[in-house]
Amino acid sequence: MTNAPVTMMNIPRLSKRGWLFPLMFCCTFLRALAQDPRSSDQLFQEARKAAFDDKNYPLAIQLSRLALAKSPDYSDIRVFLGRVYTWTDQPDSARAEFHYVLQAHPDYEDAYVAITDLEYWNDRPDTALAYVNQGLQHYPRSEELLLRKARVLVAKKELQAAAETANQLLTVNASNGPGRALLNSIKDQVRRNKIDLSYDYTYFDKRFDQPWHLASIGYSRQTKLGTVIGRLNYGHKFGEDGLQGEIEAYPRISPTFYSYVNAGYSGSDIFPKYRAGFSLFANLPAAFEAELGFRYLYFDDGRMGIYSVCRQILP
């Protein structure tokens, strides 16, 4: 079997009608673009307003594409468009925009930040780490990139490297709040054994004559299934002393789901005789977290409280 040579004679030709529609579309688009008096900067501002103020992402995409038709190499607009594609779950379109910018400007910091977020939120930590490392080659002291690298390393369970990166971030800026919070979280995960002591003092200028005292001591241990905590609470309220023992655990079910389980008992009137609780947590895209659960309290006098928990936690 031989392949026929490709010549002008054997290439299928479109009929006049076949050319008509794409030609009319191009002419209509170019005419509309030429008649639009708005500059690319004006279109960009309108696109940002549509996205951030009105949450109208389709309009933001439309305006951004019009702006890029006027200024194809306007990198800020292209990165913004890629972010909107990311927010609207169009990762392939987002990657195309980010790659376009990085090919033209390999040292564009915001493009590295944006594509790292895209890959991190789409559960591709290895790819995210590759991009953030490329960005850090150009900007080794970038707080945005260092923070994202630490988060990616946590997702990869490389806690020692994550702590080193978070410390590097705090060396650049000791007051970086997200970085310090992340480092503290990493330390909590690294510690296998921990003892907590707490004391609360509540004073009332009305209604109650005596202040309330609440102290607790707890021991927590990291296990393969998750954290387990035993706690003993002491309370002094209404002139009475009381003790309460409780145990709680945070079992990991999967990379997406983990849970909270709590049970407690007290023979004192100032604490519920029985308490119990359960919550199921879900790690959602874009660093959101959702919780669904219940809490149960039972007192000696027959009082009982049951309530449900349902919330979405912002990043």
Ordered DSSP codes for 60-97: HHHHHHHHHHH-TT-HHHHHHHHHHHHHTT-HHHHHHH
Domain ranges across the chain: 37-190, 193-313
pLDDT of residue 14: 47
pLDDT of residue 23: 52
pLDDT of residue 3: 44
pLDDT of residue 73: 93
pLDDT of residue 31: 53
Within 10 angstroms of residue 75's Cβ, the number of other Cβ atoms is: 17
Question: pLDDT tens for residues 287-309?
Answer: 677 888 889 999 877 777 776 76
pLDDT of residue 2: 42
pLDDT of residue 310: 65
Burial of 9 (0-12, 13-18, 19+ CB in 10 A): exposed
Mean pLDDT for the chain overall: 85
Rounded Cα distance between 107 and 63, Å, is 26
Question: Strand, helix or coil at 299?
Answer: coil
pLDDT of residue 8: 36
pLDDT of residue 161: 95
pLDDT of residue 309: 65
The low-confidence residues of the chain, meaning pLDDT below 50, are 1-12, 14, 25-30, 33, 315
DSSP, res 115? H
pLDDT of residue 301: 74
The model's pTM is 0.58
Identify the CATH assignment for 37-190 out of 3.40.50.300, 1.25.40.10, 1.50.40.10, 1.20.58.1180: 1.25.40.10
pLDDT of residue 283: 78
